[in-house]
Amino acid sequence: MQHIIVFIVFFIISCQPAEQRIPKDFDPGLNPSVKIGRFEQELFAVDTFRLEYSLERLIRKYPGMSRIFFEGILNWTKNVDSLEPIFISRAANFFRDRRSYELLDMTNAKYRNLLWLEEELAQSCGLCKYYFPEFQTPNFYTLISGFNVGNFIFEDEDKKDGLGIGLDFFIGPEYNYSTIDPSNPAFSNYLTRTFNKDHMLKKTWEIWVEDKLGAEPGDKLLDYIIHRGKRQYILSRIIPEIQDSVLFEYSSKEIKWCNENRRAIWSYFTGENLLFENNSSKIQKYIHPNPDSPGMPSLAPGQTGTYIGYYIIESYMRRNPATKLPDLIKETDSQKILELSKFKPKDG
């Protein structure tokens, strides 16, 4: 279950408003108390004069998170419990590097207090409990990974889901992410524009939803469209106040274009016989973040398949009101979902 990876006017599209996304019979009493484990704060608070002792205490307090961080993300050791000399040596070098503290200062300037995030996570947890009765509140952790990983999920020591939030991936536009590695597309402008506070809650739950959905049921574009549509739909239900620009990770201009051309997007996919295309090089820009969608006008952003997938699922759920979110996840026949959705796109 591990995955280790100015002023804006929001153009409101025809997604349901927040008050309509919250079920009428939802009991806010389901919202648990959420406390985020500030792993990065405690890591930088270790006593470097008693480094081995301090690291041992940190590992005892956060065993699962320490294992993921020191063994997987930083690769300082293969066994965090051993406290082997190479582990201590690498830790010492880390604490001598001023860049580590510069990154801490930048994230502290924005996120020293995360009470707002705890409240938002609590509401989402309550809604998760409503939709998925077996749901257990995850353990949430913040960290600074040196731009190695943004959000991830793992099985914690108490067998609950652990959700990690890499704060260095949410500093915002004041940080020039392109300088980290200009050759790495992960730091391209169309991706890093979402590295901010507005996207933190969505990206945190996105990894949980993806884990719950599992892999795509097939390799055709339609399979990806339906799978991505499920993800977006579930996110819109557990984060009812989510802005559409955040849900789809589009600029207001891109959202406007997609809304005004929803029928044209769908007509392109069907007219070009792309729904059953399984050549990944031909379809990846329609389902993954990209600056454009091949074959469509230059104003069309990437991920138009993900965008249209939401509306297919929204139509499917509206026409099949007895279907619950667990049922939606279990139904893996993409063609069946499309047919039962009776999808007829309308421009917003």
* Mean pLDDT in residue range 216-244: 97
Task: Give per-residue pLDDT as tens, 176-191.
Answer: 999 999 899 899 999 9
Selection from 170, 164, 220, 172 nearest residue 338 by Cα: 220
Task: Give per-residue pLDDT as tens, 154-165.
Answer: 999 999 999 999
pLDDT for 128 beyond 50: yes
Domain-embedded: residue 308: yes
Task: Give per-residue pLDDT as tens, 172-229.
Answer: 999 999 999 989 989 999 999 999 999 999 999 999 999 999 999 999 999 999 999 9
Domain-embedded: residue 208: no
Domain-embedded: residue 296: yes
Selection from 249, 199, 232, 241 nearest residue 309 by Cα: 232
**Per residue in 146-170, is it b (16+ CB within 10 Å) or e — as a string?**
bbbbbbbbbebeeeebbbbbbbbbb
Selection from 164, 247, 145, 232 nearest residue 198 by Cα: 247
pLDDT for 31 beyond 60: yes
Domain-embedded: residue 243: yes
Domain-embedded: residue 271: yes
Q: Give 86-97 as a DSSP string.
A: HHHHHHHHHHH-
Q: How many residues does the chain have?
A: 348
pLDDT at 346: 86
Share of residues in the chain with pLDDT > 70 (%): 94
pLDDT at 16: 58
pLDDT at 347: 77
Domain-embedded: residue 272: yes
pLDDT for 5 beyond 50: no
Position with higher pLDDT, 185 vs 58? 58
74 confidence band (pLDDT: 50, 70, 90): very high
Domain-embedded: residue 245: yes
pLDDT for 235 beyond 60: yes
What span, in angstroms and rounded, lies between the C-alpha atoms of 206 and 161? 13
Q: Which domain holds residue 300?
A: 221-341
Domain-embedded: residue 306: yes
- Tokens 């047919």 belong to which residue? 339
What total of structural domains would you count in the chain? 1
3-state secondary structure of 338: helix
Q: In what order do the strands lie in the sheet with 161-166?
A: 37-38, 139-143, 161-166, 151-155
* Mean pLDDT in residue range 341-346: 94
Selection from 234, 329, 223 nearest residue 278 by Cα: 223
